[in-house]
Structure 1
């Protein structure tokens, strides 16, 4: 196995050399004007001299358009789509055109807005120079040319070839393809050697929706990504492959790859042909089930597949919290004053949502012969807001319900307590989930 890994490393080095000369040749005209070394006192502005380019001209560090302003990050400048691969201070609001990115005389890399300065890299104090490398890695050096910080060590939602995810690191999805602040999904390389996906706000065994192993695979395991699209886990020695997520072997001539945790919670490997017009193409994805990511439809909403595309629906008696944003979930569209009227008559009924699964947070589990008797048990209990019924098991729930999805093959039924006037399910399509057409053609840009 060690010999195999050594041979593979040799070929990957050769691939990297080939890619370097490919990029150099492909961007010859522009590369002649490029200086990759950045010295103290250098600065950038959004409208003039806005980036520091790699020698190949493929990657750029600096300002890119974000919403109504600008953000600082790394993107591919050498292709028509300026694909963002790393973002600094990703949850800060965009800055205006009057901002300045400054590599200050004391070695700090800061974003200056009037009298205010915000650190772009916290560990940059005392640095001597920086460089945007051909690999897409932005590095900062000390006076001895030792690397004191690199973007590859602080990934956001993307891995580039030769970049790795070490134990304790994770990728957080972006809100959307064009909004790069932190989204709702996490892919993390755990300390036990397991690569796992969770809803970002609820990391527990019960909420994981992707994992490379049911148990631990050892300490200091890393997720690695090679130039030929090979995605795999290495043990602590760095020589033995534990798990292959992909086998690699994708064409490397005139082609580049990236791995991204997308806004819809699925991570994918994309390819882009440098000499052909077109967008990014999907080579591999962690799941073909668009409803698999938990939390896609928010609280009290559930995911529905339509021609393999993800859509969302609200529970009966609920409406979207934010129009156009299903991840914000659903809320009641009626007032809840009291469980029963003054004369003791129940003024609610139960609406059925069949073939759906939900997170089970039951406060009471009963045995009932049928759905009707399960529904009556909820109506008679003022604490009960919904029940999950399967077989003869009736599970009482309080709201909100989470992680809902429709599965036609499942016999689970949710029964929701609503007023007599509520008898419909509000449904719609996820505005931020990529449909099959956009997945074929990519769609990343700044």
Structure 2
């Protein structure tokens, strides 16, 4: 009797354990969109049933136990949404069907045997059983765009992105698990060949039964038929307690690994990404569209002579905004011109290939050929093309030029909505301004000047008030003899920099201490340009910029008079062990430096690239508030400029890589330098220190290795800033938002020097 009771107890325990993590759905059960809309898993984390899509409802699996109702699987995803009068029936004869009010039936699942029950598991897998409790159908075998923990993407299967986060219909990108062991990303509708891929695992030739797997600890990897791990995409080892993971190919064509802490109310966080260049997915901007990077986000542009099909849907591409006619008029004159789109790459679908020495000849060859609608030129090869062009993206390091044939009256590149973001058209504003006439133009300008002067006056008083109330807020012109007296013959030296020596001086009858900088290496830009630059820099007033009080331009003598900073430079504090800064002080210093750079980049009358951000040029006031100084190497951009070509400026160790490649330099050069300074602040060491072991000597390299080892996680922002490719670096505004905790900080891609060693 005792043994029987023991057996029954064991049976009860095993039955209870088997039922944990699942909830049974019996034959005859049904759901409706508005009442009893889903079957929950036992924990309540996942649900199977109706979810809202557009103006109707779809059927799928979604996370019900968190505030972010993330859909992870959809049945018949390309069918239109159903109305609120639809019913999901698990019929008495074992069919799972969707019925409309008019009696139309749609299969949701096609089991291989007669079904007797179903269950929504805590793993996120919806399963259907036969009478032997054997699974005869499961959502895990039919993935849409997502993999969950414990799920596999098997050979011959693929994930397809959704149209958008709110529309789970099939999108335009796919992730294919091929029969040769290769995991590859392609645009939808293209063959599985290398020319169409934009990401690959590099595991081709590893067998015909390789699967993509996701484990409970965030380990994403490829497994062959013998159970051997042939490729780690992520290292795994992430927290498992109260944390869930999912991998999804997103609407933008990149597949990412996400984590979510169930104890927190936040959104999913990206912990790994197949790519960090958002223009990598081919076809993101549709036919005749060109993808460019702006502050890490993808922007879609139309080719010259084209306009967006649908500005709300950036993948819809662009169509001609003029009627194409025969390429020559009756009198033999050309009706078209060629417009160049440099530094762009496209799919090659050429109908003729010419060996031509110079790009102008390629341009002319297409213009004279009525069958040629576009041409690409690189390294002496001219390829004539037919429209449409596709897979276009801008790559600054690529010398390929596209020539587009457009009507003579057609304007240049037209900008579409950048990934759903509203953008103003400067050209339309200009045309409107001209059409208003002289009177309508002059009056607002006069009013604007008066308003601006008043605003600048007030701003200077509020931001430079610490220099004294009795001074003129505009930079004052001094004679050389004035400055000799002020510095007592340049007696007391405060420090030396790359462009000159700084001396201590006094003004206003010895009542105000100042710093006088004698420039020894003035850039060869002429007398007029020097004066213009001093006046423009003199108009920059911000609490995190050292105030320029005056200047001297007396023959060969060129000097600058700045407010005095009693605590020296950031280098004096940061690299001297006796002047330790606590963690909060260092982060506050980083924020304030970022605010100063943001002012130079986005808030000045003239955009300024500082070109020499480093600890020695960041001075500390009596309250240890940092102020950026030394504008001797600064580059002023004209209103219509976004980049400049100039000789290398700056200090070794802080100079962005693009300077050395003779590429156009943008404000991202300052972001790079700031990234190095940020790493120095966080790690409390110099960017290059050969007294350390070789593997630790170069800070940015050592920092990334530390980050890979899950150490020094605060380095992430700095690692983003020092990326080799300028377009991938965040703007200083985004850096500041990251430092303030306003926006999430994604995982940075591996630096170029690490990728090259793999």
Say yes or no: TM over 0.5.
yes
For the pair shown, the structure with the greater C-alpha radius of gyration is 2
Match of 1:61 in 2: 48
CA distance in 2, matches of 1:440, 1:107: 47
CA distance in 1, matches of 2:420, 2:146: 22
Match of 1:425 in 2: 413
Match of 2:68 in 1: 81
Match of 2:292 in 1: 304
Aligned pair partner of 1:98 in 60, 69, 85: 85
2:163 and 2:251 in contact (8 A); partners too: yes
Deviations 1:408-428 (A, max 9, x none): 111110000001111311113
Aligned residue runs from structure 1 range 141-160, under 5 A: 141-160=129-148
Aligned pair partner of 2:210 in 216, 221, 224: 221
1:282 and 1:440 in contact (8 A); partners too: no
1:124 and 1:140 in contact (8 A); partners too: no
- Give the deviation of 1:214 after TM superposition: 6.4
- Give the deviation of 1:205 after TM superposition: 2.1
CA distance in 2, matches of 1:441, 1:106: 52
Match of 1:165 in 2: 153
CA distance in 2, matches of 1:144, 1:397: 62
Deviations 1:107-153 (A, max 9, x none): 00000102111111123772111000111000001111111100000
Deviations 1:277-335 (A, max 9, x none): 21111111001110000010000001000011101000000001122111111000111
Match of 1:359 in 2: 347
CA distance in 2, matches of 1:346, 1:64: 57
Residue 264 to residue 393, structure 1, CA distance change in 2 (3 Å): same
1:290 and 1:305 in contact (8 A); partners too: yes
CA distance in 1, matches of 2:743, 2:146: 16
CA distance in 2, matches of 1:431, 1:150: 36
Aligned pair partner of 1:234 in 223, 236, 255: 223
Residue 388 to residue 439, structure 1, CA distance change in 2 (3 Å): farther
CA distance in 1, matches of 2:743, 2:343: 28
CA distance in 2, matches of 1:150, 1:301: 40
Aligned pair partner of 2:38 in 36, 47, 51: 51
SS in structure 1 at match of 2:98: strand
Match of 1:260 in 2: 248
Match of 1:283 in 2: 271
SS in structure 2 at match of 1:400: coil
Aligned pair partner of 1:202 in 167, 190, 193: 190
Deviations 1:385-431 (A, max 9, x none): 00101121111100000100001111110000001111311113112
CA distance in 1, matches of 2:203, 2:116: 46
Residue 214 to residue 230, structure 1, CA distance change in 2 (3 Å): closer
SS in structure 1 at match of 2:365: helix
Residue 440 to residue 422, structure 1, CA distance change in 2 (3 Å): same
CA distance in 1, matches of 2:168, 2:401: 37
> Which shifted more, 364-373 or 253-262?
364-373
- Give the deviation of 1:183 after TM superposition: 0.3
CA distance in 1, matches of 2:228, 2:379: 47
CA distance in 2, matches of 1:256, 1:288: 23
Match of 1:341 in 2: 329
1:163 and 1:224 in contact (8 A); partners too: yes
CA distance in 2, matches of 1:78, 1:324: 32
Count of matched residue pairs: 408
Structure ranking higher on relative contact order (CA contacts 8 Å, 6+ apart): 1
CA distance in 1, matches of 2:172, 2:743: 20
Match of 1:273 in 2: 261
CA distance in 2, matches of 1:126, 1:266: 39
Residue 153 to residue 431, structure 1, CA distance change in 2 (3 Å): same
Q: Gapped runs of 5+ residues in structure 2?
A: 1-16, 422-729, 747-758
More strand by share: 1
Q: Gapped runs of 5+ residues in structure 1?
A: 1-20, 25-30
2:183 and 2:203 in contact (8 A); partners too: no
1:108 and 1:125 in contact (8 A); partners too: no
Q: Is 1:313 aligned with 2:306?
A: no
CA distance in 1, matches of 2:177, 2:393: 26
Q: Is 1:329 aligned with 2:317?
A: yes
More helix by share: 2
Aligned pair partner of 1:186 in 140, 161, 174: 174
Aligned residue runs from structure 1 range 386-405, under 5 A: 386-405=374-393
2:242 and 2:262 in contact (8 A); partners too: yes
Residue 124 to residue 63, structure 1, CA distance change in 2 (3 Å): farther
Deviations 1:242-280 (A, max 9, x none): 000111011111111100000000000111111112111
1:106 and 1:125 in contact (8 A); partners too: no
CA distance in 1, matches of 2:82, 2:412: 44
CA distance in 2, matches of 1:101, 1:72: 8
CA distance in 2, matches of 1:57, 1:263: 27
SS in structure 2 at match of 1:327: helix
Deviations 1:349-372 (A, max 9, x none): 000101100011111111222222
Q: Is 1:248 aligned with 2:269?
A: no
CA distance in 1, matches of 2:340, 2:238: 48
CA distance in 1, matches of 2:744, 2:61: 24
